[in-house]
């Protein structure tokens, strides 16, 4: 089976995403990209995460041509392929509809540096792209353009896209951004959050360069 390891990872992290309530039903999608082969493994459209098997995961190239698989790929295939084309350092994408990130996406507001964990996105703010219908090239282009240097971006009235150097990194980023979004929401319910300034965030991002174990894996801060 082509890209067997990557297809198994899509299944594993899809189940984690569902169990972690980062999505509901069949919403959201995941992909893993292998640049050496120019191929990505992407979750199938409309199949529950706990019903998805590795052979259901679709293998396509970055022009969305199906190379292997009998299922229809996620409707957000254009979003995934465009991010891989525009951000050459990334190898995986997790797209969620998590409650607090989606709340700020509905408000059309960015996630701000209310907690230093936002630096996991490689930026001091996670911006919000304007609304476009799901599964459209317009949405993909708006998301990539709005993201800029950030590895995470909110989609207006929709959800979150998190990119990583591997699937664990992309999933971890999605979890961390949901944490930041919940903190921001709760703080706004009480008063005015203290947003870290550019100097403080520059220091955090520098410290992140040496954080964690030599293999680059981290689970928290």
pTM greater than 0.75 (yes/no): yes
Q: How many CA atoms lie less than 13 Å away from 184 in the CB half-sphere?
A: 28
pLDDT at 214 over 90: no
User: For all residues of the chain together, what is the average pLDDT?
Assistant: 95
Split at pLDDT 50, 70, 90, the class of 183 is very high
Distance CA 120, CA 116 (A): 8
pLDDT at 19 over 70: yes
pLDDT in tens, 188-203: 999 999 999 999 999 9
Distance CA 111, CA 152 (A): 10
Distance CA 99, CA 46 (A): 20
pLDDT in tens, 127-160: 999 999 999 999 999 999 999 999 999 999 999 9
Where are the alpha helices (H) located in the chain, listed in sequence order? 4-19, 77-86, 99-107, 137-147, 167-190, 198-208
Q: Which domains does the chain have, with CATH numbers?
A: 4-208 (3.40.225.10)
Active site residues: 76
Distance CA 36, CA 124 (A): 32
pLDDT at 217 over 60: no
* pLDDT confidence of residue 215: 63
- The size of the chain, in residues, is 221
Mean pLDDT across 166-183:
98
| Pairing mode of beta strands 66-68, 39-42 | unpaired
* pLDDT confidence of residue 13: 98
pLDDT in tens, 84-93: 999 999 999 9
């Amino acid at each position: 089976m082509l890209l067997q390891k990557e297809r198994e990872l899509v299944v594993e992290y899809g189940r984690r995403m569902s169990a972690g309530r980062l999505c509901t039903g069949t919403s959201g999608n995941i992909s893993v990209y292998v640049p050496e082969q120019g191929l990505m493994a992407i979750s199938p459209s409309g199949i529950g995460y706990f019903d998805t098997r590795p052979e259901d995961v679709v293998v396509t190239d970055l022009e969305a041509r199906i190379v292997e698989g009998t299922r229809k790929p996620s409707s957000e295939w254009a979003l995934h392929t465009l991010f891989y084309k525009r951000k050459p350092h990334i190898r995986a994408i997790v797209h969620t509809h998590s409650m607090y990130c989606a709340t700020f996406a509905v408000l059309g507001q960015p996630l701000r540096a209310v907690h230093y964990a936002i630096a996991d996105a490689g930026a001091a703010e996670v911006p919000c792209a304007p609304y476009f219908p799901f599964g459209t090239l317009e949405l993909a282009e708006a998301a990539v353009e709005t993201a800029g240097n950030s590895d995470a971006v909110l989609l207006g009235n929709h959800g979150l896209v998190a990119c990583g150097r591997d699937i664990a990194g992309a999933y971890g980023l999605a979890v961390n951004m949901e944490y930041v979004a919940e903190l921001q929401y709760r703080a706004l319910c009480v008063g005015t959050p203290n947003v870290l300034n550019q100097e403080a965030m520059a220091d955090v991002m520098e410290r992140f360069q040496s954080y964690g174990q030599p293999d680059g894996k981290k689970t928290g801060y």
